[in-house]
């Protein structure tokens, strides 16, 4: 199949969260299955220093007709995975430091930025259809590109391309004033509760949900959760109305990037059959961070965006009690300044045993997971989560709240440690996190702990099976 991805992030160059990893690794996995994948991405400022080899098309692509007129310069490239890349340069909109905003504030013209980008994506598809070799599927990701699917449906009479929308996090919806309709050239008849209107605002994600031929989200449990008032973020009714076209597909990880046997970021390499060098990785990361080098002491890591969704406040509240035991804790991530200050203050109370690092580069993340015994994931809700998958790959056992994709990827260990792949707890509270963490620390001295580590490292966490499921979704919409 000919597949066009429309995305706002792409690892490792343009990344805020797991969306970037999924776009990079899923497109690669689909190509390995024999499909031709092209990723359309805005031409961000950060791409200038990425080392990509690009060829600029001499003739700009013109967005004309209804809506704001714009000229788009198109750059062709190719990723090392062999996936084709289209960078769409819309003057003055993406040559900035941030992706969605800076200093914790979103750019005020995001409706125009991603509205014009979505129009450009549809124009790319239209031009391909005119050549007689149309894209079979347009696969959009979250609110920044969801409206491309909506616009595609409006042109269904001249394009055979079908659309699939993946909901990576339904909490972010792309809400804008009614006036944003002008960017698309859409009339007031589109500002209606049955279409784009949402509590007196324009909702990009809602448009994509209604227009897509198929919807996917990143775990089976999250597919059910977003149909509830608790986790549907006011779109639960819309999701329920489209439930027949919704499926949950758990994310995978790229073994070429996340593999402790070949990882160049580590001081020593290991695998499930010979895990001895994990101890060397532990001593090395403790030394790198400046903590006491006590290899026998449990090392816990927490790696995530520092926001309420990820339970950063719960971690800060739980940290003093966790550190009363003989454990070391390293926290990495950035986000909400107030929550970052809480984590920093909590870690500062245990010098030599705890550290808050703020934002770190990806090689440090690899070293943290290689050296740790346990990974803490106190998310209030989690569509899928990737940290627990990376942790398991590196023999670091997750301690996680029982929600979303964490339920689908972590099986609670029984008291004898004979079955299970991590430690789950029921309520998103500091006390729940403390209890599960204490249970996990106690298990580290169990005679079967080595077998637990080998078990989690042998899990099939790759992208092959998820990619095949996405291909089935594509075929289903083409057959329909």
The per-residue pLDDT for range 62-96, each reduced to its tens digit, is: 998 788 889 999 999 999 999 999 999 999 999 99
User: Looking at the structure, do residues 475 and 432 belong to the same domain, yes or no?
Assistant: no
Tens of pLDDT along 261-305?
999 999 999 999 999 999 999 999 999 999 999 999 999 999 999
Read off the CATH number of the domain in which 469 is found.
3.40.50.2000
Backbone φ/ψ region at 103: left (φ over 0), alpha (ψ -120 to 50), beta: left
Is 355 within the bounds of a domain?
Answer: yes
Residue 263 covered by a domain = no
- Domain range for 109 is 2-252+464-479
Same domain, 55 and 8: yes
Q: How far apart are CA 115 and CA 223, in angstroms?
A: 27
Please tell me whether residues 315 and 390 are part of one structural domain.
yes
Q: Label residue 30 by pLDDT band (50, 70, 90).
A: very high
pLDDT for position 45? 86
Is 409 inside a domain boundary?
Answer: yes
Within-domain flag for 196 = yes
pLDDT given at position 37: 98
pTM: 0.95
Based on the fold, state whether residues 184 and 308 are members of the same structural domain. Answer: no
Q: Does the annotation flag 278 for ligand binding?
A: no
Give how many domains the chain has, as a whole number: 2
> 397 phi and psi, to 5 degrees?
-85, 130
């Amino acid at each position: 199949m000919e597949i066009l991805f429309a995305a706002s992030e792409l690892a490792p160059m343009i990344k805020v969260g797991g969306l970037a990893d999924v776009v990079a690794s899923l497109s690669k996995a689909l190509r390995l299955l024999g499909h031709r994948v092209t990723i359309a991405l805005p031409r961000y400022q950060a791409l200038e220093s990425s080392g990509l080899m690009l060829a600029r098309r001499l003739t700009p692509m013109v967005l004309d007709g209804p809506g704001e007129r714009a000229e788009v310069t198109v750059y062709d490239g190719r990723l090392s995975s062999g996936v084709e890349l289209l960078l769409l340069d819309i003057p003055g909109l993406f040559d900035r430091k941030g992706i969605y905003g800076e200093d914790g504030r979103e750019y005020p013209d995001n409706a125009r930025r991603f509205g014009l980008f979505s129009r450009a994506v549809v124009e790319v598809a239209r031009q391909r259809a005119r050549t007689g070799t149309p894209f079979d599927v347009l696969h959009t990701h979250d609110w920044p590109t969801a409206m491309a699917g909506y616009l595609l449906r409006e042109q269904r009479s001249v394009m055979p391309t079908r659309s699939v929308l993946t909901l990576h996090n339904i909490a972010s919806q792309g809400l804008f004033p009614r006036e944003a309709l002008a960017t698309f050239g859409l009339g007031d008849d589109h500002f209606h509760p049955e279409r784009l209107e949402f509590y007196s605002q324009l909702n990009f994600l809602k448009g994509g949900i209604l227009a897509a031929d198929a919807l996917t989200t990143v775990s089976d449990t999250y597919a059910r959760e977003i149909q509830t008032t608790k986790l549907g973020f006011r779109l639960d009714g819309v999701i329920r109305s489209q439930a027949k076209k919704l499926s949950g597909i758990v994310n995978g990880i790229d073994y070429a990037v996340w593999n402790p046997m070949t990882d160049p970021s580590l001081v020593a390499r290991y695998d499930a059959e010979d895990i001895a060098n994990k101890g060397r990785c532990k001593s090395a990361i403790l030394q790198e961070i400046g903590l006491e080098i006590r290899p026998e002491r449990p090392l816990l890591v927490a790696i995530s965006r520092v926001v309420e969704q990820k339970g950063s406040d719960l971690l800060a509240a739980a940290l003093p009690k966790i550190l009363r035991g003989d454990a070391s804790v390293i926290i990495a991530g950035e986000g909400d300044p107030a929550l970052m200050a809480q984590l920093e203050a909590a870690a500062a109370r245990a010098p030599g045993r705890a550290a808050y690092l703020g934002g770190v580069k990806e090689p440090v993340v690899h070293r943290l997971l290689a050296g740790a015994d346990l990974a803490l994931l106190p998310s209030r809700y989690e569509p899928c989560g990737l940290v627990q998958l990376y942790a398991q790959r590196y023999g670091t056992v997750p301690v996680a709240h029982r929600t979303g994709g964490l339920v689908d990827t972590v099986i609670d260990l029984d008291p004898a440690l004979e079955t299970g792949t991590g430690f789950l707890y029921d309520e998103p509270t500091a006390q729940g996190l403390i209890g599960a963490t204490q249970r996990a620390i106690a298990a580290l001295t169990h005679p079967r702990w080595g077998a637990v580590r080998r078990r989690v490292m042998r899990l099939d966490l790759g992208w092959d099976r998820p990619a095949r499921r996405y291909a089935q979704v594509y075929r289903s919409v083409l057959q329909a």
